[in-house]
Amino acid sequence: MRLVIREYLSMLKESRELDALLPDLLFSMDIIPLSTAQVGVRQYGVDVAAVGADPEDNYVTKLFLFTIKQGNFSRKIWDDGTPQAIRSSLNEIIDVYIPQHVDNQHKSLPKKVIVSCGGDLKQEVEDNWKGYKSTHTKVGELEFDLWDGNKLAFLIEKYLLDEYLFPESSQKYLRKTIALADQNEDEPRYFYELIEETLFKFYLPQDKKKNAERKRQKTLNFLNLSLNIVFHWCQESNNLRPSLLCAERMLLRTWDWIRKYEFFDCSKTIIGLQKIFLTYIKIGRTYIVKLQPHCLVRDGLFGYGGDKLEYPLRCFELIGVLGSLGMAYYWCAYFNQDEEMKREYFEQTNAIAKTLSALIENNSAAHRPLYDEHGIDIILGLLTLEETKHRNVAFDWLIRLSTSIIRGYRLGKHFPIASDSYEQLVALQFGQAQPKEKLMELSTILPVLADWYAILDLDNEYLSFQESIGKVLTSTNLQYWFPDETTDDYLYACNAGYESGITVSSIKLAESVEKHKITIAKLLENHKECEQLSCFIHGLPILALISSRHFRTPVIPIFWQCYILAGKLSEDINTNE
């Protein structure tokens, strides 16, 4: 396991990676971080400051001052004449930080200055490092140490992967996940088992005592570390999909754990959840950056599924990923109090919407849903387009989707079947399937498309769509799915549509957009159970959207139908917080 961690550390960058890991490690060592690295703020050489007992010196209480560097400790980063060099940072700590920026309560403590890097101390600079330490060390007052990749791997294994908290089985699941990082044939089931085992199969204290809070915080730190290790290994394998699935699953299952044991008022537990959410955001952003060039060229996703079936399946999967991540960034922006971060999140949301628009425009398969559950991905995509004011793209896509489905059904090919059977898709492709009336005996996509005609106020287009449905799909039962009072018990663990909820069937599309809006208003008035979902109550409805993408639970209608009533998703969903 130590070799795995050591390799992971060598991949870390200084900013927002190694400096994000270090405070979690210190916390597990009972060394309390006082400050962490901040981008754009002068820190006088100190990236992380902490105070606590030194386990390497008879547990003497000390003030720890860390300067963090990426990669190997080489001659170049030791003293290249820039303020970012290690020697420059150490001089600033001695000359400025210790005399002027140490709190009065810590001034009498011995100071331990530590250079931390994910790589190795190169032989070419060993004498320089030893000489500097010898010259500046003051016994009992000031000392120096190096936490390189080997030292960090040892400390992480000892303190973050404590065998009493996280047994060998958990570490085995992590190693198996890494070994299969280049595979896409199956989901990362070993990592899923690691999450289940850590959160639900081992005893974790549920009381509000400090020791219990610390143990829960340590558990979430371990999970986040495991997720980051898998992410970096997937990057090395040039296959990010498993890491995104792991991030979605961890986020949802962690919320379910918090919900089940009612840890909502435990700040340390919520901070742990926030870290996992930010890791999900980071993985998603990297995934999108990798695939973006393929979205910008004609049929650029064809290479990821080079036949008539795999091509649209890949398109709609990516549409769902882009849509859910776009909405995740949107909610981050909407609820963020920091104006700079709010602006950054909005910019990322818009960038995702542009990538989604390019995918839809350049890939004809994005207009041919093959499963009825592709309605989930369509909704997620339309939500992101709507929130970023890409209405022209939404309008064009809506028309193409409607035309493709109706034409495909007429021809008996390329229409969204009501099951998730790949075998039935293959049989339909070769003309050996059941009658089309049986394959599309129900549809959740069609009423969703009708709703979006109403959202976009497309009166004439809606009328044409409504007439086509009435003439062509006469035996198809149009349906909505709404959550019920039991849905919260399933939403973050499985496809809640199979285990809970209410299906409103035999929907008849009204003769006009205005009448359809009235129908929607009545439906929403009679189905308000979503307001009782924990993610709505506690201000994280985005989790319901991520759950729909991951577990394939139907998207809760309030997410799009509220536009019909009020015009703005963010203003219409009450979060009570």
Instruction: Judge residue 110's burial from the number of C-beta atoms within 10 Å of its C-beta, 0-12 exposed, 13-18 middle, 19 or more buried.
Output: middle
Cβ neighbors of 59 (< 8 A, separation 6 or more) are 53
The DSSP result for 55-95, as a single string, is TTTTTEEEEEEEEEESS-B-HHHHSSSSTTSHHHHHHHIII
Average pLDDT over the chain, rounded to an integer? 90
Query: Is 362:296 a contact under the CB 8 Å cutoff?
Result: yes
pLDDT in tens, 399-443: 999 999 999 999 998 899 999 999 999 998 888 889 999 999 999
Looking at residues 550-576, what average pLDDT do you find?
73
Spatial CA neighbour of 252 closest among 487, 485, 494, 530: 494
Spatial CA neighbour of 355 closest among 278, 448, 285: 285
pLDDT at residue 306, as a whole number: 53
Cβ neighbors of 105 (< 8 A, separation 6 or more) are none
227 or 158, greater pLDDT: 227
Spatial CA neighbour of 315 closest among 282, 494, 323, 544: 323
Beta bridge partners of 69: 117
The DSSP result for 535-566, as a single string, is HHHTT-THHHHHHHHHH-PPPPTHHHHHHHHT
Question: For tokens 């039991």, what's the residue?
Answer: 486
Query: Is 530:543 a contact under the CB 8 Å cutoff?
Result: no
Starting from the edge strand earliest in sequence, which strands make up the sheet with 48-54, in order?
31-35, 48-54, 60-69, 111-117, 142-147
DSSP state of 110: P
| Euclidean distance between CA atoms 336 and 410, whole angstroms | 48
Q: Could you tell me the pLDDT band of residue 577, with boundaries at 50, 70 and 90?
A: very low
Q: Could you tell me the pLDDT band of residue 166, with boundaries at 50, 70 and 90?
A: low
Contacts 24+ apart (CB under 8 A), 342-351: 348/285, 349/384, 349/387, 349/388, 350/388
| Euclidean distance between CA atoms 371 and 144, whole angstroms | 62
Q: How distant, in Å, are the alpha carbons of 442, 559, 569 from that of 484?
A: 21, 16, 21
Question: For tokens 């390329």, what's the residue?
Answer: 414
For residue 58, report the phi and psi dihedrals to the nearest 5 degrees: 55, 30
pLDDT at residue 572, as a whole number: 39
Maximum average pLDDT range among 95-104, 160-169, 170-179: 95-104
pLDDT at residue 163, as a whole number: 58
Q: Could you tell me the pLDDT band of residue 575, with boundaries at 50, 70 and 90?
A: very low
In the predicted model, is pLDDT for residue 192 greater than 90?
Answer: yes
Least confident of 200-214, 229-243, 279-293, 402-416: 200-214
| Euclidean distance between CA atoms 266 and 155, whole angstroms | 27
Share of the chain above pLDDT 70, in %: 94
Its pTM stands at 0.87
pLDDT at residue 160, as a whole number: 80
Token pair of 394 as six digits: 């939404």
| Euclidean distance between CA atoms 393 and 318, whole angstroms | 17
* 3-state class (DSSP) for residue 418: coil
In the predicted model, is pLDDT for residue 125 greater than 50?
Answer: yes
| Euclidean distance between CA atoms 123 and 108, whole angstroms | 35
In the predicted model, is pLDDT for residue 212 greater than 90?
Answer: no
pLDDT at residue 571, as a whole number: 39
Would you say how long the chain is, in residues? 577
